[in-house]
Amino acid sequence: MRATAKQSLLQSVHTVRNPASGTVFSEYTFFRKGTGEIIMCGIIGFTGTANAVPKMLKGLSVLEYRGYDSVGIAAQTEGGVDVVKCKGRIHVLEEKLREEPLPESHCAIGHTRWATHGGPSDVNAHPHRAGRVVLVHNGIIENYQELAEELRGSGVTFLSQTDTEVAAALINACYDRLGDPAAAIRQATDRMRGAYAFGILFDNRPGEVWVIRRGSPLILAKGKDGFYLASDMTALLPFTNQYCAMEEGRIACLTAASAMLLDDAGGSAAAEWKTTAMTPESAQKGGYPHFMLKEIHEQPGAVEKSVSSRIVGGLPDFSADGITPDFWKSVKNIQIVACGSAMHAGLVGARVLEEMAGVPTTVHIASEYRYYPPLFSDGTLVVVISQSGETADTLAALRYAKSRGIPTLAIVNAVETTIPREADRRIYTYAGPEIAVATTKGYCTQVSVLWMIAAAIAYTCGRIPEEQARATVDALAKEVPQAIEDMLAKREQFVRIAKGLVDHEHVFYIGRGLDYAMSMEASLKLKEISYIHCEAYAAGELKHGTISLIEPGTPVLAIATDPGLVDKTESNIREVRSRGAQVTMICREGTQVPEESADEIVFLPNRSEAAVLFASLTAVQMIAYETAARLGCDIDRPRNLAKSVTVE
Ligand code: M6R
Best-predicted range by mean pLDDT (35-44, 140-149, 478-487, 540-549)? 478-487
The residue to mutate among 348, 363, 388, 525, having the most atoms of ligand 1 within 8 angstroms of its beta carbon, is 388
The answer to whether the CB of 437 is under 6 A from ligand 1 is yes
Identify the burial level of 238 via C-beta atoms within 10 angstroms of its C-beta, where 0-12 means exposed, 13-18 middle and 19 or more buried. Answer: middle
* Three-class DSSP category at 129: strand
Tell me which of 263, 281, 299 is where a domain ends. 281
Question: Is 86 annotated in the active site?
Answer: no
Average pLDDT over residues 101-123: 86
Same domain? For 475 and 565 the reply is: no
Query: Do residues 536 and 523 lie in contact, with contact meaning Cβ atoms separated by under 8 Å?
Result: yes
Q: From the CA of 340, give the closest atom in ligand 1.
A: 12
**Residue 98, domain extent:** 42-281
**How far does the centroid of ligand 1 lie from the alpha carbon of residue 311, in Å?**
27
Q: Which tens digit of pLDDT belongs to each residue from 480-501?
A: 999 999 999 999 999 999 999 9
Query: Do residues 204 and 28 lie in contact, with contact meaning Cβ atoms separated by under 8 Å?
Result: no
Same domain? For 497 and 602 the reply is: yes
Q: What is the DSSP string of 362-375?
A: EEEEHHHHTTSPPP
Peptide bond into 373 cis (omega under 30): no
Average pLDDT over residues 132-147: 93
**How far does the centroid of ligand 1 lie from the alpha carbon of residue 38, in Å?**
12
Tell me which of 438, 466, 485 is where a domain ends. 485
Asked whether the predicted pLDDT for residue 436 surpasses 50, the reply is yes
18, part of any domain: no
86, part of any domain: yes
Number of domains in the chain: 3
The answer to whether the CB of 445 is under 6 A from ligand 1 is no
102, part of any domain: yes
494, part of any domain: yes
Count the residues in the chain: 648
Quote the pLDDT of residue 185. Answer: 97
| Nearest alpha carbon to residue 420 among 405, 438, 408, 403 | 408
* Three-class DSSP category at 323: coil
Non-local (6+) Cβ contacts of 482 within 8 A are 300, 605, 611
Q: What is the DSSP string of 48-106?
A: ESS-HHHHHHHHHHHHGGG--SEEEEEEEETTEEEEEEEES-HHHHHHHHHHSPPPP-S
How far apart CA 228 and CA 250 sit, in angstroms, is 16
Same domain? For 603 and 628 the reply is: yes
Same domain? For 314 and 201 the reply is: no
pLDDT band per the 50, 70, 90 thresholds, residue 635: very high
Same domain? For 56 and 179 the reply is: yes
Tell me which of 242, 265, 281 is where a domain ends. 281
Same domain? For 76 and 159 the reply is: yes
pTM above 0.85, yes or no: no
Quote the pLDDT of residue 285. Answer: 80
Q: Would you give the DSSP letter of residue 286?
A: T
26, part of any domain: no
Same domain? For 327 and 359 the reply is: yes
